[in-house]
Amino acid sequence: MIEVLNLTKKFGDRLVVSDVSFSAKKGEIVGFLGPNGAGKTTTIRMLATYLPPTSGTAKVAGCDILAQSDEVRRHIGYLPETPPLYGEMTVSEYLTFVARIKGIGARQVKSRVAAVLEKCFLTEARNMLCSHLSRGFRQRAGLAQAIIHDPAVIILDEPTSGLDPRQIIEIRQMISGLAENHTVILCTHILPEVTMVCNKVVIINRGRIVLESRLDELVKGRSLEQVFLECVSQEEGAAASGAL
Amino acid sequence: MRNIVSVCRREILAFFVSPIAYFVITGFVLLSGYFFFNLLAVFNVMVGRFNAMAAYRGGMNAPNLNQWVVEPYYHTLLVILVFLIPVLTMRTIAEEKRRGTFELLMTSPLSVLEIVLGKFLGAAFVVLLMTLLIFSFPLLLMVFGQPGPEAAPVLNGLMTVLLCALAFAAISMAVSSFTENQIVGAVSGMVTLLLLYVIHSPAEALGEGWVSRVLQYLSPVLQAEDMIRGVLSIKALVYFGSLIVFGLFLSCRAVDARRWS
């Protein structure tokens, strides 16, 4: 469903993402892990066709992100780190707008909005202005806009950031529920989240992929934290010796 | 088309939920009414003097409502638009970037043209509303004036103000789309429109050469003159239409540059 091939991104002279390759099959929830500033958000922004790569390419649902970017956008649901909400709209109005621009037919808009409101536990907040929503409801509204058009691929950037424990559990349950019919990339630096929700892990550090593995094969007698620290330390050691 | 309508509807909602549209429309109507009242008051004084000079005026023509009220009124409106239109359009692209909704638009299956057109049409709706409201003043003259002004200059002038406002909206939207700061966008828009408004000023000093002719052609003031006098000028229609297209083209390039930067 997702094939990333040698994706590289430079901002001026600064190399942010270097030669990144990984894949994700249908039904997989991939945890895209890395420390702050590792290049996670840049990578997923390229997959979401918000940023063009400097070199390399990727295929999402069989469509090339450069040559078929419009098609890719139809197959992707993207939740950025800050949910993209219009404060002056109610939740219902906002999701109706998103449904229309995501290409849902006029006759299906109302039913899709109702379904997504229920799926994301937003029914009680449907008439609230987005600017009045609590942090938890904002994340749910953001998740709702990402899945409203039933995309094949869902990319979530730090979906539980800033939430309280109960809200975190709710969001994780929603994400787990998506796996059946979607491919999910969960971009996070919270390791327990990956352990609880994902079945595959990709670790990135300093713009390079340091590990890609199924979770059950990876953590054999070790915790994900140990594996993560090992990978990141090895990569930083290699980078330091290269610099020397 | 559906996408353009969706974006346009959202823009119109955004305009009227925030105070911007209300301040701009109210300011425009207040200023227009003030200048219209002044022009009419001066005209009344002139008519009074003309009538008082009945024995001495010989072949002099009576003061003309079109010449002394309607035409200067419409010319004054163009100046007001130079300052108010950029305030209206400063948020169209910049605010999307500021609150993170730009990413939503850029990662949706919307073309850049659909986004830009939708936003422009939203601003155009507010411009149309402004124009219709200020038309009430010359309309009062037409209804209650004895005699009232000629209809052709009044209607042509209204169309000119509308076209000019739309052209200004397209240009200032383009200028503000290159920045994320609304204030910078508004000021840049004002400066650009002011430069466009006075672009013909050096023409006289430059003589009869091609540069002088080009500067005169580019001037919205000179292009609007014939239309405001009541002459339907194809040249002016093409000019304002071209400005609108040029402004939208620049906006598309600015948005596309952000997408692929």
**Does any domain span residue A214?**
no
**Does any domain span residue A230?**
yes
Residues A14 and A91 in one domain: no
Q: pLDDT, tens digit, for every residue of B198-210?
A: 998 888 777 778 8
- A-facing residues of B in 105-124 (CB < 8 A) are 105-111
Residues A134 and A226 in one domain: no
State the total domains in chain A.
2
Give dist(CA A33, CA A161) in Å, integer. 14
DSSP notation for chain B:
-HHHHHHHHHHHHHHHHSSHHHHHHHHHHHHHHHHHHHHHHHHHHHHHHHHHTTTT-TTPPPP-HIIIIIHHHHHHHHHHHHHHHHHHHTTTTHHHHHHTHHHHHHTSS--HHHHHHHHHHHHHHHHHHHHHHHTHHHHHHHHH-TT---HHHHHHHHHHHHHHHHHHHHHHHHHHTT-S-HHHHHHHHHHHHHHHHTTTGGGTTTTTSHHHHHHHHH-HHHHHHHHHHT---HHHHHHHHHHHHHHHHHHHHHHHHHHT-
Which pLDDT score is estimated for A219? 62
Residues A190 and A133 in one domain: no
Mutate to test the interface with B, among A10, A47, A50, A113 (most CBs of B within 10 A): A50
Give the range of the structural domain holding residue A110, as residue numbers without chain letter.
85-151
Q: How many CB pairs under 8 A join A and B?
A: 62
Convert A17-52 to b/e letters by CB count within 10 Å (16 or more is b). Answer: bbebebbbeeebbbbbbbeeebbbbbbbbbbbbbbe
Q: pLDDT, tens digit, for every residue of A12-54?
A: 888 899 899 999 988 889 999 888 888 899 999 999 999 889 9
Which pLDDT score is estimated for A244? 46
Task: Please state, rounded to an integer, the average pLDDT across all residues of chain B.
Answer: 89
Residues A3 and A124 in one domain: no
- A-facing residues of B in 73-102 (CB < 8 A) are 99-102
**Does any domain span residue A209?**
no
Q: pLDDT, tens digit, for every residue of B71-129?
A: 999 999 999 999 999 999 988 888 888 888 999 999 999 999 999 999 999 999 999 99
Partners of B260 on chain A (C-beta within 8 Å) are: 52
- Of the given ranges (A78-82, A214-218, B18-22, B165-169), which has the lowest mean pLDDT? A214-218
**A41 neighbors A204 (Cβ within 8 angstroms):** no
User: Which tokens in the block code for residue B76?
Assistant: 């004054």
Structure pTM?
0.88
Rounded mean pLDDT of B62-66? 82
Residues A53 and A102 in one domain: no
Which pLDDT score is estimated for B244? 96
Q: pLDDT, tens digit, for every residue of B116-162?
A: 999 999 999 999 999 999 999 999 888 888 778 888 889 999 999 99
Residues A242 and A142 in one domain: no
Which pLDDT score is estimated for B230? 83
Rg (CA), chain A: 18
Residues A236 and A115 in one domain: no
**Does any domain span residue A8?**
yes
**Does any domain span residue A239?**
yes
Which pLDDT score is estimated for A174? 84
Burial of B19: CB neighbours in 10 Å, binned 0-12, 13-18, 19+: exposed
Instruction: Pick the more confident residue, A3 or A236.
Output: A3
Q: Return the number of other C-beta atoms located less than 10 Å from residue A109's C-beta.
A: 18
Residues A9 and A72 in one domain: yes
Rounded mean pLDDT of B21-29? 93
Q: What CATH number is given to the structural domain containing A10?
A: 3.40.50.300
All residues at 6 or more sequence positions from A210 whose CB lies less than 8 Å from its CB, including other chains: A203, A204, A231, A232, A234, A235
Residues A16 and A110 in one domain: no
**Does any domain span residue A112?**
yes
Q: Do A52 and B260 touch (CB under 8 A)?
A: yes
**Does any domain span residue A40?**
no
Rg (CA), chain B: 21
**Does any domain span residue A58?**
yes
Give dist(CA A234, CA A236) in Å, integer. 5
Residues A168 and A233 in one domain: yes
Mutate to test the interface with A, among B103, B112, B256 (most CBs of A within 10 A): B103
Q: pLDDT, tens digit, for every residue of A62-120?
A: 899 888 888 999 999 999 989 999 999 999 999 999 999 999 988 999 999 999 999 88
Which pLDDT score is estimated for B204? 74
Residues A113 and A141 in one domain: yes
Q: pLDDT, tens digit, for every residue of A185-217?
A: 999 878 888 888 888 999 998 888 888 888 877
Give dist(CA A40, CA B18) in Å, integer. 35
Would you list the domain boundaries of chain B? 2-259
Give dist(CA B20, CA B7) in Å, integer. 18
Q: Do A101 and B18 touch (CB under 8 A)?
A: no
> What is this model's ipTM?
0.86
Q: pLDDT-derived band of residue A241, with 50, 70 and 90 as boundaries?
A: low
Partners of B7 on chain A (C-beta within 8 Å) are: 101
Rounded mean pLDDT of A232-238? 68
Residues in A whose CB is inside 8 Å of some CB of B read 48-52, 70, 73-74, 76, 78, 80, 82-89, 93, 97-98, 100-103, 106, 145
Which pLDDT score is estimated for A136? 87
Q: What one-character DSSP code corresponds to residue A125?
A: G
Instruction: Pick the more confident residue, A216 or A165.
Output: A165
Residue B233's nearest CA partner among B141, B173, B157 is: B157
Rounded mean pLDDT of A161-165? 82
Mutate to test the interface with B, among A86, A92, A185 (most CBs of B within 10 A): A86
How far off is chain B from A222, nearest CA to CA, in Å? 38
Q: Do B109 and A88 touch (CB under 8 A)?
A: no
Residues A70 and A158 in one domain: yes
Residue B74's nearest CA partner among B148, B171, B160 is: B160
- 3-class SS of residue A213: strand
Beta bridge partners, A30, equal A185, A200
Half-sphere exposure of B67 (CA within 13 A, CB side): 6
- Of the given ranges (A1-15, A61-75, A153-167, A225-239), which has the lowest mean pLDDT? A225-239
Q: Return the number of other C-beta atoms located less than 10 Å from residue A126's C-beta.
A: 17
Q: How remote is the C-alpha of A112 from its chain's centroid?
A: 22
Q: Does B103 touch chain A (CB under 8 A)?
A: yes
- A-facing residues of B in 125-154 (CB < 8 A) are none
